[in-house]
Amino acid sequence: MKSHILLFIALSILLISPTISFFAEAQAQADCVAYSGNSIPDSQIDGVIGPEWNDAGLVSQFAIDPQGLAQVWTKQDGTYLYVAIRFYADSQNPWVAIQFGQDICMSSSADGAMFGDDNYAANGYRDIYFLQSGQVGVDATQNGVGAINVNASNAVVVELKKPLNSGDTAGKDINWTQACSYPMVIMWDSDGGGSSGGSVNHAVGTHTARTLLVNSETNIVPEFPTSIVLVIAAAALVFVAILTKKQSNKLHRNIPIF
């Protein structure tokens, strides 16, 4: 019976391995994935991470600039791109910015979103684009909805709902399509110039553009491999039960009768 069980387990591993490898390879092609998901109403873009993000792609250790790691959720509904960020700052008055579509941080004419900058929208959101020398311009037409929330422990939460294509070329807005990857930079600051109370300078250090894949598929990655494992485990139990019963019947047939 043991040889049969080992054979079953070996075959199961061979069957499941290509599936796991396929999803791992797909994930490795981008730093984060904006899966196709449910729309989020404007009222839920409030700086609080809730169940509206359950169908989003999640990266738990996303490197943000100039330092730190964040949780980043991304998804899209064909019309809007949704991004949520959560990390710990070193003050209660940082600003956070996201740059879209350009590899070099604060590239001239790059599209962006600004949160909590005292010069533009203290405790709020502005649709922006970057100018030369790291300056920003505020779009004349404000597209999208955003929110920032910082609690007493310096935990920062940012939420953004942004059109994939607003048509606002004057504001340098993105025109993104599904099944394509784009650069994205997440940066923050706490030592002045729209922020205060900390020592993090966004202009210091290396800034690396991360890739965001606008995926037309729904987020099945977390559940799919788990369900396969459960099915195989159940099948293995049934298989073992059948073999055990056959062995038991064989044993009873071989018992001599006196």
CB 159 within 8 A of CB 47: yes
Q: Is the pLDDT of residue 199 over 90?
A: yes
For residue 225, what pLDDT band results from cuts at 50, 70 and 90? Answer: very low
What pTM was computed for the model?
Answer: 0.77
What is the average pLDDT across 157-163?
A: 98
pLDDT digits (tens, 9 = 90+) for 75-118: 999 999 999 999 999 999 999 999 999 988 888 999 999 999 99
Q: What is the mean pLDDT of residues 42-53?
A: 98
pLDDT digits (tens, 9 = 90+) for 133-156: 779 999 999 999 999 999 999 999
- What number of other Cβ atoms are within 10 A of residue 146's Cβ? 24
Alpha-carbon distance of 203 to 63, in angstroms, equals 16
Output the pLDDT for position 174.
Answer: 98
At 215 the pLDDT is 96
pLDDT over 90, % of the chain: 66
The pLDDT score that the predictor gives to residue 2 is 53
Residue 83 CA to residue 71 CA, distance in Å, equals 11
Considering only residues 203 and 213, tell me which one the structure prediction assigns the higher pLDDT.
213
Q: Which is it for strands 69-76 and 180-189: parallel, antiparallel or unpaired?
A: unpaired
Q: Mind listing the pLDDT tens digit for each residue in 50-82?
A: 999 999 999 999 999 999 999 999 999 999 999
**Residue 45: which H helix or E strand, with range?**
none
Kindly list the structural domains of the chain, giving each domain's residue range(s) and its CATH number in brackets, ordered by start.
2-25+223-254 (no CATH), 31-214 (2.60.40.1190)
User: Is the Cα dihedral 103, 109, 115, 120 positive or negative?
Assistant: positive
Assign 249 a pLDDT band (cuts: 50, 70, 90): low
Beta strand ranges found along the chain (DSSP E): 32-36, 57-63, 69-76, 80-88, 95-100, 111-115, 125-130, 136-138, 145-150, 155-163, 180-189, 210-214
